[in-house]
Structure 1
Amino acid sequence: MSYQALYRVWRPQQFKDVAGQEAVTRTLKNALSHGNTSHAYLFSGPRGTGKTSAAKIFAKAMNCKNPKDGEPCNECDLCRSITQGKLGDVIEIDAASNNGVEEIRDIREKANYAPTEAEYKVYIIDEVHMLSMGAFNALLKTLEEPPMNVVFILATTEPHKIPLTIISRTQRFDFRRISAQDIIRRMTYILNEKNVEFDPDALMSIAKAAEGGMRDALSILDQVISFSDGSVTLDDTLRITGSITQDLMIDYISAALNHDTEKGLGLLHQMMQEGKDANRLVEDVILFSRDILIYQKTKDENLLKMSKVDERFSELTVNAQPEKIYDIIKIMNQTQQEMRTSTHAEVYLEVATVRLAQIKSEPVVTTQSEVKKDTDESQEIQSLKNKLKQMQKAIEQMQKNGSDSETVRAPKRKTSRKAAGQTVFKVNTHQVFGILKQATRNDLAKLKDVWPDLINALSTSQKAIMNTSKPVAASPHGLVVTFDYDILCERAANDTFLIDAVGDYLEKVIGHRAELATVPSDKWMDVRQAYIDQMKNENGNQEESTKQEETKETDEVDAVVSEAVNLFGKENVTIAD
């Protein structure tokens, strides 16, 4: 028998084997155990996260003769037939190649026939977003009123392309990216079963290169096993994935922080000669810089994407200034944009390396100014002391003369300005208030629903900015997003590429673009309260104006009545409302 890839051999056969999707598998198992299954399901999520595998397991569990707690037995004839793809009552369809109206009409006609062997006929439609609009319309009626004992399972990586009329007729389950720990746990189990020696650091490198996809991880693992002749080592893994070692990355970042241009260029040429991909290198530098910032603030190793905490990494995070790491991310992000339209990626990387090494630290730039500032402050303090002595003498003299009623006013001084380099993001309250004026809960609910998918659709550098973002208010054509840090708030507000990417995605998903307003998380409640106070003041002014108008009208009526009485006499005047 020919060799089969690892992801095919080790495809999950029970819900407990599906890694990283506990919420989904638990819900499906409980529904099967209690007989509360639906007629249509939508499995959405990134590639390689277990959507099709879960659909096949669900089909087996529905038709299994000996199910246990919602799990299929995998031993009866029906389970084996479904596993081998031979059961005619479980039909798997690729919508990418069967996306026309005729194919869906054929499914509708065949769905009316009862199952031949199994209890339920199950249709698994993979990549369902590839169906044409006519095909979706043909499927709509069947999903609304399906035949008896027929279940549809729709799987897709792009749920925003599916009409809402289809989504509303299904139970939707969102599959998340699998964590590195879950991927490593699954690969460890497989390698132990195959009796293959491995380096734990190599598995960590594979898990991070897979970016949350189990199928991608097993494909890379398959390549490494073949390349290394039966074992899994870190060096072989780095060659296959095109990544660089953490020590080399630390050396490269350290060269930039220490202004060592020659060493930085030498490390860059070394990595290029080893065949490292230029775009992958830029992404690795951005993600590594992101890990430095995250670890500086949280000290949580589980939040790191491509780093492991060791002595050198800990030392680097202690010594690195956050402002300089921000500059590294900014320069690499610009380099990534420039490389997209050029065939000379190495030249842009060399320029970026020189720019990184020229980032100036605060002490180097402001040493002389700081000395001058300290001198000026010392002179100001001495002057204040002299004025204070003069004031004390004046007060004593007034007390002696009995001039207690006179008030001695101290000379006013302007408050000192904030230290150089400290940046505070200024909220555009006019823009935020305009959005809040038309904001609705329904618009906010729509945005919260698509927000994780929106972030996943962004580029790596844009994700680094938007990862801590959270939508807090939305109107039909605007949204307010909070960020944990002022610097991220400022970068999001000034990054036109990011704003365009968010607008393009929302236009595809909800049908219109939305104006993006950014607010730091710690200022959001103050901004919201300021808007509420403004609305109260406007309403109060409006009520006062209405009262004045009514008083004016009353005075005018009284004047007319008085004049009429004077002309015709009180007995001849009748007042009617």
Structure 2
Amino acid sequence: MGYQALYRVWRPQRFEDLVGQKMITQTLKNAIATGQTSHAYLFTGPRGTGKTSAAKIFAKALNCHHQENGEPCNNCDICRAITEGRLNDVIEIDAASNNSVDEVRDIRDKVKYAPTQADYKVYIIDEVHMLSSGAFNALLKTLEEPPANVVFILATTEPHKIPATIISRTQRFDFRRIDMRDIYERMVYILDQKKLNYEEKALKVIAKAAAGGMRDALSILDQALSFGGGEVTLQNALLVTGSVTQDKLKNYLQKIFTHQTAEALDELQSILEEGKDANRFIEDVIDYYRNLLIFKTAPEMLEKEEITEDFKSLAENTDAKVLYGAIDILNQQQQNMRFSTHTDVYLEVLTIKLAQLKAEDSVPLTDDAVQTIKKLQEQLKSLQEQFEKLKVAAKSKEIEPMKTKASTRTKAQHRNTPKVDLKKVYPVLTNATRDSLVQLKGIWGDLMTMLSVTQRAMMNITQPVAASENGVIVSFKYDFLCEKAMVDEELIQALNNGLERLVGGKMTLVFITQTQWPKMRQKYLVEHKEELENSGKDDKKEASSTQEDAVISEAEKMFGKDVVEIKED
């Protein structure tokens, strides 16, 4: 047989060989040893973390007559046949290319037949999230109640795409990304077994580039061995992974931290000319900033070899705010680079941003904050324009002698004035009390803090003018803001939710303009007075006194004794 890739040669054949998944392997071993296996399993997690390998080991251990403590012997005919992929009772299916309803129905029809050689038939369905919705439906009943000697193992990198009805019928195991230290130790073990030369720093570069995937790490190691003629050196590892040497990275960042923009761009150009991968480069920069930040807060978390005198000096002389701001910029630029073919341009812009970052402006504005500022600026401009119009209208009113024009202006103002629903206003006024109004005024500031920035800008010049236990009348200084608030459902919902939290109950909200409120209040008192007069026909004099007292009492109740002034006609 020709050359085989390292990840195939060194594929785990026992649970104890699976790296970085101790909890999962121990659980599966115990289940096999005690005979408490399930009929269906779901293995999820990033690529190269051991999902398919664990499924094959499980199939061997389940059918091995010589297993010990849940581990297969790997020497019997059944174990060797499964390892070599020639046992008919262990069926591997790639759902990416076999995802139709007909293929799942074929599985459903064959699953009823007893195994030919092994004790259990094991179906390993890889990338199961690729099945169509019809295929999932066809699998559902079989997965719920398979024959006693059938086990399903579903493997996927995207569990969120699997229907909940499928997940609920399986035992789920989440494979996590493998720690960099575990990947490093596994590569050391393999190279020692093969008696090959290597540099420790080279293996650490490969382990970092693998990003938690053992298969990726062994593939990169394979490339480095081929490139170096059977030897793994730091230089070869850097070239294969597209990483940057610590010296070049240090020189680049020193220019950044000393705000030498032109020199930093030169360093960047030198790095890119060597063929370094742009995405790998930005990950190296993020990692360097991360290490600086950790050194300032918890230096014991870093390995000693990472803390050089230059690194220590740089960390001590850099403000933490600068590091926070830089990491935010790096993350944002990394997201932008994923959808662009001109990564060099993004790196140049990134370099300029980082070089110009200082402690006083180190926290960059997010996109949401920028949009909010724009909205506030637009609203401020609108308010200024409205104010200018009001000034012009006031001047024209003073000098306008003609009655017809005054009448026209009054009609125009009336058309622009928001309409108030009396059916909502009167119930609030009928039950309004001074105590309720004082309570609402007391919590109004707290209510404003619960709103978004734009909502708070709209409600900033409002105040409650009357309140009962179940409702509040809110006065707006400007008519156009009142009209806008009346149709803003999100604002009304936010106010209702805030009031419910602050006062403990739902309240009716009534919006009214500052100019409408005195008229509305007077109108209500007059109508209330007439109602009392009509109800006291038997004793006019007494009724007159009573209704006057009632009006006064009602006014004091609504607005407070200190506000109401009684004048004789």
Q: TM-score, normalised by structure 1?
A: 0.62
Q: Is the 8 A contact 1:257 1:324 kept in 2?
A: no
- 8 Å Cα contact 1:78/1:87 also seen in 2: yes
The separation in 1 between residues aligned to 2:350 and 2:264, in whole angstroms, is: 10
Q: CA deviation at 1:430?
A: 4.8
Q: 1:128 to 1:279 in 2, by over 3 A?
A: same
Residue 177 of structure 1 aligns to a residue in which SS? coil
Alignment of 1:314-329 (within 5 A): 314-329=312-327
Q: Helix, strand or coil: the match of 1:320? A: coil
For residue 291 of structure 1, report the CA deviation from its aligned partner. Answer: 2.7
1:346 to 339, 344, 347: 344
Instruction: Give the Cα–Cα distance (whole angstroms) in 1 for the partners of residues 341 and 78 of structure 2.
Output: 55
Separation (CA, whole Å) in 2 of partners of 1:51 and 1:194: 26
CA deviation vs aligned residue, 1:262-282 (integer Å, no higher than 9, x gap): 431221121011101223222
The alpha-carbon distance between structure 1 residues 342 and 185, as it changes in their structure 2 partners (threshold 3 A), is: closer
SS at match of 1:43: strand
The answer to whether 1:259 aligns with 2:225 is no
Superposition deviation, residue 363 in structure 1: 12
1:184 is matched with 184
Q: How many residues align?
A: 386
Provide the C-alpha distance between the structure 2 equivalents of 1:541 and 1:533, rounded to a whole number of angstroms.
7
3-state SS in 1 of match to 2:293: helix
- The one-letter amino acid paired with 1:87 is L
User: 2:250 & 2:337 partners in 1: Cα distance?
Assistant: 23
Question: Where does 1:66-81 land on structure 2 (aligned, <5 Å)?
Answer: 66-81=66-81
Q: Distance between the aligned counterparts of 2:507 and 2:248, measured in 1?
A: 66
Partner residue, 2:515: none
Residue type at the aligned position of 1:169: R
Structure 1 letter corresponding to 2:69? D
Matched, 1:538 2:536: no
Give the corresponding residue for 2:65.
65
Distance 2:498 2:119 in 1: 59
Which structure's CA Rg is the greater one?
2
Deviations 1:25-84 (A, max 9, x none): 010011111111000000000000000000000000000010111000001110000000
- Which of 317, 330, 333 lines up with 1:332 in the alignment? 330
Distance in 1 (alpha carbons) for counterparts of 2:175 and 2:302: 20
Given that 2:291 and 2:302 are in contact with CA atoms closer than 8 Å, whether structure 1 keeps it comes out as no
CA spacing shift, 1:149–1:363, aligned 2, 3 Å: closer
Residues 113-192 of structure 1 aligned to structure 2 (within 5 Å) = 113-192=113-192
1:360 to 341, 358, 362: 358
> What residue is the counterpart of 1:35 in the other structure?
35
Q: Corresponding residue for 1:500?
A: none
Cα pair distance change 1:132/1:342, threshold 3 Å? closer
Structure 2 partner of 1:22: 22
Q: What is the CA deviation profile of residues 375-401 of structure 1, one whole-angstrom value per residue up to 9, with x for unaligned ones? A: xxxxxxxxxxxxxxxxxxxxxxxxxxx
- Taking the aligned partners of 1:276 and 1:88, their CA distance within structure 2 comes to 47
TM-score normalised by structure 2 residue count = 0.63
Deviation string for 1:234-289 (max 9, x for gaps)? 11100000010123222212211112224312211210111012232223222321
Post-superposition offset of 1:536: 8.0
Please name the residue that 1:242 is paired with.
242
Q: What 5-or-longer segments of structure 2 have no aligned partner?
A: 363-447, 453-489, 491-496, 509-569
Which secondary structure does the structure 1 equivalent of 2:154 belong to? strand
The answer to whether the Cα contact below 8 Å between 2:294 and 2:301 also exists between their aligned partners in 1 is no
Secondary structure at the residue paired with 1:152?
A: strand
Deviation of 1:218 after TM superposition, in Å, equals: 0.2
Q: Show the counterpart of 2:277.
A: 277
1:456-486 CA-to-partner distances (Å, cap 9, x unmatched) read xxxxxxxxxxxxxxxxxxxxxxxxxxxxxxx
Displacement, 1:182? 0.6
SS at match of 2:232: coil
Q: CA deviation at 1:127?
A: 0.3
Cα RMSD after superposing both structures: 3.2
Deviating more after overlay: 339-348 vs 176-185: 339-348
| 1:294–1:303 CA contact under 8 A, matched in 2 | no
Q: Is the 8 A contact 1:260 1:357 kept in 2?
A: yes
Q: 1:532 to 1:19 in 2, by over 3 A?
A: farther
* Residue 199 (1) aligns with residue 165 (2): no
> Are the structure 2 counterparts of residues 342 and 28 from structure 1 closer, same or farther at C-alpha, using a change threshold of 3 Å?
closer
Contact (CA 8 Å) 1:301, 1:309: kept in 2 or not?
A: no
Counterpart residue identity of residue 179, structure 1: D
CA distance in 2, matches of 1:160, 1:339: 26
Q: Is the contact made by 2:59 and 2:122 (CA closer than 8 Å) also made in structure 1?
A: yes
SS at match of 2:42: strand
Is the Cα–Cα contact under 8 Å of residues 255 and 263 in structure 2 kept in the other structure? yes
Q: Report Cα offsets for 1:119-153 as digits up to 9, x if no partner.
A: 11100000000000010001000011111200000
Evaluate the alpha carbon distance shift between residue 163 and residue 83 of structure 1 in structure 2; reply closer, same or farther with a 3 A threshold.
same
* 1:7–1:540 CA distance, 2 compared to 1 (3 A): closer
Check whether the contact 2:123–2:151 (CA below 8 A) recurs between aligned residues: yes
The match for 2:311 is 313
Q: Which moved more, 1:220-229 or 1:325-334?
A: 325-334
Superposition map of 1:155-554 within 5 A: 155-301=155-301, 308-340=306-338, 342-361=340-359, 429-430=450-451, 535=501, 537-538=503-504
